[in-house]
Structure 1
Amino acid sequence: MGAIGVFLGCSPIAQSDTPLPLLTSEPLLESQPPPTLAVRIETVVEGLEHPWAVTWLPDGSALITERPGRLRRFHQGRLGSPIPGVPPVFAQGQGGLLDVALHPRFAENNWVYLTYAHGTASANRTRLARGRLVGDRLEDVTVLFEVSQTKTGGQHFGSRLAWLPDGTLLMAIGDGGNPPLELEGKFIRQQAQNRRSHLGKIIRLRDDGTVPEDNPFVGDATATPELWSYGHRNIQGLVVDPVTETVWSTEHGSLGGDELNRIERGANYGWPVVTYSREYWGAEITPERRRPGMVDPLVVWTPAIAPSGLAVYRGDRAPQWQGALFAGGLVSQDVRKIRVNANNAVESRGRIPIGQRVRDVRQGPDGYLYVLTDDAQNGRLLRILPPT
């Protein structure tokens, strides 16, 4: 395994990082790819089957999920056998074993958190479980949370995890799927506006799966107590900036209309009442793009990039990237760099071509960016290095 590309682009990052005018409250509508950034890319792991997420253990080894239901450990140049103890998953369509996250005090308790699709093609839902990593197996595996309603098909499970500074856990859950899929006599996507449903939401839990008493809708009979934010379609990128404590997300639109959002406690992000997206067959979903009381996205991607994986760079290997967001793209097969200022205006953008569907983007413990690519036979973990 070695470098798969020496340089992508022909100018230094600082020069290709094109400034943009400060935005008003209108989102940035990105219809053309931004300038290419000059980087080096190295292959760290290859031969993965639909990898979905990666995280690092204190010893520097990496845990990688594969959607068919495998949790693998990569250590000292070797990809280990599947780790026993992973719960059975519903691996169909977009479903399977999805995100992985370590407890903030993993060094003390060895807790590993997994999200996954559970059930059958006719009745499935997103679950959250945790288990102790003991050697190379998971023990004491417990389901901490499951979506309240089952659905059919294999779409829109969401599943990204992010820890808040207070030690509580955010979990993104998709809206359930596209028309003609229905629930309770309406398109299932309408559940994103139903505050009693978990579908199309971000929820907040304690590390043991119980509900924090200070969640925004605790005690509200019109809402589920786990609710943190709502009106989401299918969040596939979720990250908390360790410096500013800002929560960022990226979510898929339908035909265009992918979004970058700043997540606020108790806020409504509009789907499907307001959206820049269209039906897959081209029809308008709604004529409304904005509505009072609903949060506007900061960036809208049309055509769609299908964002998946999101990181805030806070390393020391690339000072010029400090504080920037890096969003992976499944359809665009690249990583989009976005710098947002204190006024929530996009100041600059850039693009790192990858050449495979990008499923996850993380900052590694060595201060470099890492990208996980989605492929049926040769999914890869890549290291992104700034030019020397």
Structure 2
Amino acid sequence: MHTPVRVLLTLAASGFAATLLAQPAPRKDVAKIYQEICANCHGAQLEGGQAPSMLDDQWANGTGTDADLARVISDGVLEKGMPAFHSLMSEADVRAMVIFIREQRASYKRQRATQKLPGGAIPTQEHRFRIETVADGLSTPWSIAFLPDGRTLVTEKPGRLRVIADGKLQPSAIKGTPAVRDGGQGGLLEVAAHPDFAKNGWIYLAYSDPAKDKDGKEVSLTKIVRGRLKDGAWVEEEKIWQAPLELYRPGGGVHFGCRIAFDGAGYLYFSHGERGRQQDAQDLTRPNGKIHRIHDDGRIPADNPFVNTPGAFPSIWTYGNRNPQGLDFDPRTGLLWETEHGPRGGDELNLIKPGVNYGWPVITYGMNYDGSPITANTAREGMEQPVTYWVPSIAVCGIDFYEGTLFPKWTGNLFVSSLAQQELRRLVIAGDQVVSQEIVLKDIGRLRDVQCAPDGSIWVAVNDPGSIIRLVPAD
């Protein structure tokens, strides 16, 4: 009989770990091992979630050979958020896992040839809808923004800003956009139009900024700029927010955030992941693991909660946030809502309040990806509780309050996209509470963003396959 993970952890705590963990006993059910320690990041069917898919041919580490896979599983790649599992898996387990991955990839390729979006009417509790494909052939579409002139902007994670006009994806990307660090979870992330775009033409981009530290080592951190579009080119760029180079973190890595929300009063809010450095989320001298508030031109508001705190990063609005990838104002109440990825379990929906500590990593409803505990604490005085949380993780991503009338019974509801569970959820919110949830769409790919279009249709960015779809009434 194999030794369960919980027993190994118990023995480790009592001082017997050295021998047992150095040579863990082989475990027999590799599919069970995968679901226990891999699926929360890489998806239940290897489709990807908070970590990349293992079904495509894009390998973040090495070339995808058996030796590369075994090395990464055993030794990990900590700077990219991949833990080492050699203490929990024997060499036989690792080899079995490599075989399991190969089997799943082969099965996926067989099925992919006939993969199609659901056809016809799809029923939900309140409405029936059908799906239309707006654009396909995209590479990891990350964010959607609508312009008042009828155009739609879409970011592709590798660094391209695309335009959909007259219902068609334009063949060429916008020229001259910033270079990005397309590694791990980094790349070209959020695109957002200024609320007064029709007057000023400003478009905002958030991305992982590539740089080198004083020793020549590659580092990166989230950066925000704004610019305008002219004749298919990105022009008149202005820096809106950037941390000092000494605060950048090594490599491509994980947990960049980043979503942008405007409050209509001239303030811009954005989310910033903790870049895989858990304790940074509690450190007010660092910008990562926070929600920030600035003026739309990048100036620091004089009434920010920590602007007069010695050493604190002045744009911080909240802290103790892990990796926020959803941010939107409820148009009915003016309240700011945020979704953030938990670790293994513990994805959160938070109501964002100035100066509040949301607890990561001191409190959490999740655990480490290797199955070990982070902390026994889910609450502590002085730290905010999530409005709701998801265990197991759904890999929660972009959110949007529905303001349209094509689906009148959905008006005011919050739509939430997810990666690992491939779900589009509808949350009914009353004041500051979630009243109910419904899964309205599932299993058509990893859902990265959701936005209500000016005509009331609901647009969704789908990863693997890379496409933009929209929900329209079926009746």
TM-score by length of structure 2 reads 0.71
Instruction: Give the equivalent residue in structure 1 for 2:255.
Output: 156
Instruction: Give the equivalent residue in structure 1 for 2:435.
Output: 347
- Residues 157, 267 of structure 1: CA spacing in aligned structure 2 closer, same or farther, 3 A cutoff? same
Instruction: Give the equivalent residue in structure 2 for 1:21.
Output: none
1:48 equivalent to 2:135? Answer no
- Indicate the SS of the match to 2:145: strand
1:382 equivalent to 2:469? Answer yes
Instruction: Give the equivalent residue in structure 2 for 1:79.
Output: 169
1:6 equivalent to 2:120? Answer yes
Instruction: Give the equivalent residue in structure 2 for 1:65.
Output: 155
2:436, 2:219 → 1: CA distance? Answer: 44
Q: Which amino acid aligns with 1:247?
A: L
1:345, 1:386 → 2: CA distance? Answer: 28
Structure 2 portions without partners, runs of 5+: 1-115, 212-216
1:253 equivalent to 2:342? Answer yes
Which structure shows the bigger proportion of residues in strand conformation? 1
Instruction: Give the equivalent residue in structure 2 for 1:227.
Output: 316
Shift of 1:222: 4.6
Shift of 1:152: 1.7
Structure 1 residue corresponding to 2:387, chosen from 290, 295, 298: 298
Shift of 1:117: 0.4
Matches within 5 A, 1:188-227: 188-227=277-316
2:298, 2:361 → 1: CA distance? Answer: 28
Structure 1 portions without partners, runs of 5+: 15-36, 178-187
* Worse-matched range after superposition: 71-80 or 96-105: 71-80
1:82, 1:218 → 2: CA distance? Answer: 39
* Worse-matched range after superposition: 42-51 or 132-141: 132-141
Shift of 1:336: 1.0
1:3, 1:194 → 2: CA distance? Answer: 45
Q: Which amino acid aligns with 1:214?
A: D
Instruction: Give the equivalent residue in structure 2 for 1:93.
Output: 184
- Indicate the SS of the match to 1:297: coil
Q: Which amino acid aligns with 1:295?
A: E
- Indicate the SS of the match to 1:316: coil
- Indicate the SS of the match to 1:13: coil
1:372, 1:232 → 2: CA distance? Answer: 24
1:281 equivalent to 2:370? Answer yes
TM-score by length of structure 1 reads 0.87
Identical pairs, percent: 43
2:443, 2:468 → 1: CA distance? Answer: 11
Is the Cα–Cα contact under 8 Å of residues 250 and 259 in structure 1 kept in the other structure?
A: yes
Is the Cα–Cα contact under 8 Å of residues 450 and 459 in structure 2 kept in the other structure?
A: yes
- Indicate the SS of the match to 2:250: coil
2:243, 2:375 → 1: CA distance? Answer: 27
Shift of 1:7: 2.8
Q: Which amino acid aligns with 1:84?
A: K
1:321 equivalent to 2:410? Answer yes
Structure 1 runs of 4+ aligned residues shifted over 4 Å read none
- Indicate the SS of the match to 1:6: coil
- Indicate the SS of the match to 2:119: strand
- Indicate the SS of the match to 2:240: strand
1:133 equivalent to 2:229? Answer yes
Shift of 1:354: 4.7
Shift of 1:219: 1.2
Shift of 1:255: 0.4
Is the Cα–Cα contact under 8 Å of residues 163 and 170 in structure 1 kept in the other structure?
A: yes
Shift of 1:66: 0.4
Shift of 1:311: 0.5
Structure 2 residue corresponding to 1:113, chosen from 186, 196, 204: 204
1:333, 1:164 → 2: CA distance? Answer: 29
Q: Which amino acid aligns with 2:168?
A: R
Shift of 1:346: 2.3
- Residues 3, 258 of structure 1: CA spacing in aligned structure 2 closer, same or farther, 3 A cutoff? closer
Instruction: Give the equivalent residue in structure 2 for 1:330.
Output: 419
